[in-house]
A and B are shown apart, each in its own frame.
Chain A
Amino acid sequence: MKSQILSVLVENQSGVLARVSGLFSRRGYNIESLVVGRSESPEISRMTIVACGDEAQIEQVKKQLNKLIEVIKVTDITEKEHVERELALIKVNAEPGDMRSEVMQIAGIFRAKVIDVGSKSVVLEITGDSGKINAIEELLKPYGIYEMVRTGKVALQRGSATVLNSK
Chain B
Amino acid sequence: MKTGAQILIESLKDEGTDVIFGYPGGSVLPIYDVLYDSGIKHILVRHEQAAVHAADGYARASGKTGVCLATSGPGACNLISGIATANMDSVPVIALTGQVPTGMLGNDAFQESDITGITMPVTKHNYLVNDTGSIRRVVKEAFFIAGTGRKGPVLIDLPKDVQTGQTDEGENPNVEISLRGYKPTYRGHPKQIKSAMKLITEAKKPIIYAGGGVIASDSSAELVKLAERFDLPVTTTMMGLGAIPAHHPLNLGMLGMHGTEAANYAITECDLLIAIGARFDDRVTGKIELFAPNAKVIHIDVDPAEIGKNKAVDVPIVGDAGEVLRDMISLAETLDIKKKEPWLTKIEDWRENHMMKYRDDKELHPQYIIEQLSGILEGEGIIVSEVGQNQMWAAQYFGFKMPRQWISSGGLGTMGYGFPAAIGAQFAKPDETVVLIAGDGSFQMNIQELGTVSQYNVPVKMLILNNMYLGMVRQWQELFYEKRYSYTELPQVDFVGIAAAYGIPGVKVEEKGEVKDALKKAMETDGPYLIDFRIEREENVFPMVPAGAAISDMIGCHIPDEKEALK
Contacts and interface: CB of A to CB of B under 8 A. Distances in A.
Contact of A19 (B120, B182, B303, B305): B120
Interface string A58-90: 011001101111111100000000000000000
A18 interface: yes
B116 interface: yes
20 contacts: A10-B181, A15-B116, A15-B120, A15-B128, A18-B120, A19-B120, A22-B120, A56-B308, A60-B305, A60-B309, A63-B304, A63-B305, A66-B305, A67-B303, A69-B124, A69-B125, A69-B145, A69-B179, A71-B181, A73-B181
Given A15-B116, A68-B181, A70-B181, A22 B121 contact: yes
B563 interface: no
Contacts of A63: 304-305
Contact of B305 (A15, A18, A64): A64
A73 B117 CA distance: 23
Contacts of B304: 63, 66
A167 interface: no
Contact of A59 (B181, B303, B308): B308
A72 B180 contact: yes
Interface of B: 116-117, 120-121, 124-125, 128, 145, 179-182, 303-305, 308-309
A26 B117 CA distance: 13
Contacts of B305: 60, 63-64, 66-67
Nearest to A11: B181
Nearest to B127: A15
A66 B183 CA distance: 10
Interface in A13-30: 15, 18-19, 22, 26
Contact of A69 (B128, B181, B308): B181
A58 to B, nearest CB: 12
Contacts of B120: 15, 18-19, 22
A73 B181 CA distance: 7
Contacts of A71: 181
Given A56-B308, A63-B305, A69-B145, A18 B181 contact: no
Query: What range describes how many residues of A lie at the interface?
Result: 20 to 34
Contacts of B117: 18
A71 B182 CA distance: 8
A63 B310 CA distance: 14
A19 to B, nearest CB: 6
Contacts of A60: 305, 309
A66 to B, nearest CB: 7
A72 B181 contact: yes
Contacts of A18: 117, 120
A121 B182 CA distance: 51
Nearest to B128: A15
Contacts of B308: 56, 59
Identify which of B120, B125, B145, B181 gathers the most chain A CB atoms within 10 Å of its CB. Answer: B181
A119 to B, nearest CB: 43
Contacts of B128: 15
Given A22-B121, A59-B308, 16 more contacts: A11-B181, A15-B116, A15-B120, A18-B120, A19-B120, A26-B121, A56-B308, A63-B304, A64-B305, A68-B181, A69-B181, A69-B182, A70-B181, A72-B180, A72-B181, A73-B181
A68 B182 CA distance: 8
A60 B308 CA distance: 9
A59 B305 CA distance: 9
Contacts of B116: 15
A55 to B, nearest CB: 10
Contacts of B124: 69
A10 B180 CA distance: 10
A102 B180 CA distance: 54
B106 to A, nearest CB: 12
B148 to A, nearest CB: 11
A60 B310 CA distance: 10
A88 to B, nearest CB: 32
A73 B180 CA distance: 9
A47 to B, nearest CB: 13
Contacts of B181: 10-11, 68-73
A11 B120 CA distance: 16
Interface in A30-64: 56, 59-60, 63-64
A73 B182 CA distance: 10
A8 B57 CA distance: 37
Contacts of B125: 69
Contacts of B145: 69
A64 B124 CA distance: 11
Nearest to A22: B120
A11 B127 CA distance: 14
A72 B182 CA distance: 8
Identify which of A18, A22, A63, A64 gathers the most chain B CB atoms within 10 Å of its CB. Answer: A63
Nearest to A10: B181
Contacts of A59: 308
A70 B181 CA distance: 6
A58 B228 CA distance: 39
Nearest to A70: B181
Contacts of A10: 181
Top 10 A-B pairs, shortest CB-CB distance: A63-B305, A72-B181, A69-B125, A69-B182, A71-B181, A63-B304, A26-B121, A72-B180, A69-B181, A64-B305
B74 to A, nearest CB: 23
A156 to B, nearest CB: 21
Nearest to B305: A63
A79 B555 CA distance: 49
A71 B117 CA distance: 17
A72 B116 CA distance: 21
A59 B304 CA distance: 10
A100 B304 CA distance: 57
Contacts of A73: 181
Contacts of B179: 69
A72 B180 CA distance: 6
B490 to A, nearest CB: 34
Contacts of A26: 121
Contacts of A15: 116, 120, 128
Contacts of A56: 308
Nearest to A67: B305
A46 B560 CA distance: 65
Nearest to B309: A60
A15 to B, nearest CB: 7
A71 B180 CA distance: 9
A56 B181 CA distance: 23
